[in-house]
Amino acid sequence: MAACRLLTRDSAAQLLSNIDTVLTDCDGVLWQGTEALPGAAKTIAKLREMGKRIFFVTNNSTKSRLSYVEKLKNLGFEANEEEVYGTAYIAALYLKNIAKVTGKVYMVGNKEMAKELDLQGISYTGVGPDPIEGTVTDWKTLPLDPEVTTVLVGFDEHLSYMKMIKAASYLSNENVQFVATNTDERLPVGNGRVIPGTGCILAAVHTAADRDPVILGKPSKFMFEVIKERHDLDPNRTMMIGDKLTTDIMLGHNCGLTTLLVLSGVTSLEEARQMQASNSIEHQKCVPHYYLNNMGELGDIL
């Protein structure tokens, strides 16, 4: 059972000798918004020097792999496309290889998700603004695209009531598949502003459709299964670093990885301790093996 221990210099040496692959979350671990977190790039470089393989795994669906590589490089992280797994890319893979989508995807999503669908040769519609017009009399006879076989929900800053009508109407056909990138609720940016996450957009569509989506992001094992298969990972020798208990840490437990929580993102040590004190099996899956204040500290003790 994980015990939420502070990772010390001694325990880090011991731990890293048993690890050859590191999966790391991005928002709240490597950066906050558009700024790198102090020491994070240095830590990643040090892990590479030690011969560890690195994979960047994020639920954020607002960037294609190429855009992530660009952001990583701009913020001082060495990275290549094969190391980046975001839910825009993962959704395209899922639709192509698992759901085997024919016809068109109705996307409550964004341009970067569209890019990944393009690369997999999947047709779609719905990206961009779609403001509401007319009244309920018009809405109830709204034309639907007969080619749509799948609804995909990710981050969409252009969410509108019109999109909610369309998504829920497509989903009223039980043969239409329902897929979502992730359920992260919000990206706290401090100073009294709340940036709602995909989970809020999904909540609207989900409530309208009254159906459960397949969810691809962490803590779903799907993302890890893809990486594991492609890169031949051994879960016993893999560590997951993240800032969120219900996604990053639970993913680790779901896949048999060692987990390290950093406190530079959405989670306080108190919340982790509350999970630890709980008897619920779900909560126990949110308890990290180790914690540190931030990625910079990991570099310092390696």
Residue 154 CB, nearest approach to a copy of itself (Å):
13
- Which one among 46, 53, 96, 158 touches a copy of itself, defined by CB under 8 A? 158
Report the residue number, 80 or 207, with the smaller CB distance to a copy of itself. 207
Residue 72 CB, nearest approach to a copy of itself (Å):
17
Per rule CB under 8 A, is residue 296 in the interface with a copy of itself?
A: no
3-state SS, residue 177: strand
Is 247 in contact with 199 (CB distance < 8 Å)?
no
Largest CA distance in the chain: 69
Q: Hey, what are 35's tokens?
A: 């700024």
Residues numbered 117 to 156 that lie near a copy of itself (CB under 8 A) are: 129, 131-132, 136-137, 139-142, 144, 156
Q: Is the dihedral of CA 131, 134, 140, 145 positive or negative?
A: negative
Report the residue number, 50 or 189, with the smaller CB distance to a copy of itself. 189
Q: Is 10 annotated as a binding residue?
A: no
Nearest to 158, CA basis, from 180, 193, 126: 126
Residues numbered 169 to 228 that lie near a copy of itself (CB under 8 A) are: 169, 171-173, 185-187, 189-197, 199-201, 203-210
CA pair distance 150, 131, nearest whole angstrom: 21
3-state SS, residue 292: strand
Stretch of residues binding a copy of itself (CB under 8 A), selected from 17-25, 99-107, 167-175, 214-222 = 167-175
* DSSP class of 7: P
Q: Is 130 annotated as a binding residue?
A: no
3-state SS, residue 200: helix
CA pair distance 276, 97, nearest whole angstrom: 38
Residue 28 CB, nearest approach to a copy of itself (Å):
14
Residue 13 CB, nearest approach to a copy of itself (Å):
38
Q: Hey, what are 97's tokens?
A: 């290889």
**Positions marked active-site:** 25, 27
DSSP codes, 21-83: EEEE--BTTTEETTEEPTTHHHHHHHHHHTT-EEEEEE---S--HHHHHHHHHHTT----GGG
Length of the chain in terms of residues written: 302
Report the residue number, 100 or 193, with the smaller CB distance to a copy of itself. 193
Residues numbered 28 to 87 that lie near a copy of itself (CB under 8 A) are: 33-34
Residue 210 CB, nearest approach to a copy of itself (Å):
7
Residues binding a copy of itself: number (CB under 8 A): 48
Report the residue number, 137 or 280, with the smaller CB distance to a copy of itself. 137
CA 153 to chain centre: 13
Beta-carbon contacts of residue 17 (< 8 Å; ≥ 6 apart): none
- Which one among 54, 88, 148, 159 touches a copy of itself, defined by CB under 8 A? 159
Query: In sequence order, what are the beta bridge partners of 291?
Result: 6, 261
Residue 139 CB, nearest approach to a copy of itself (Å):
6
Annotated binding site: 25, 27, 218, 243
Q: Which residues bind a copy of itself (CB under 8 A)?
A: 33-34, 129, 131-132, 136-137, 139-142, 144, 156-161, 164-165, 168-169, 171-173, 185-187, 189-197, 199-201, 203-210
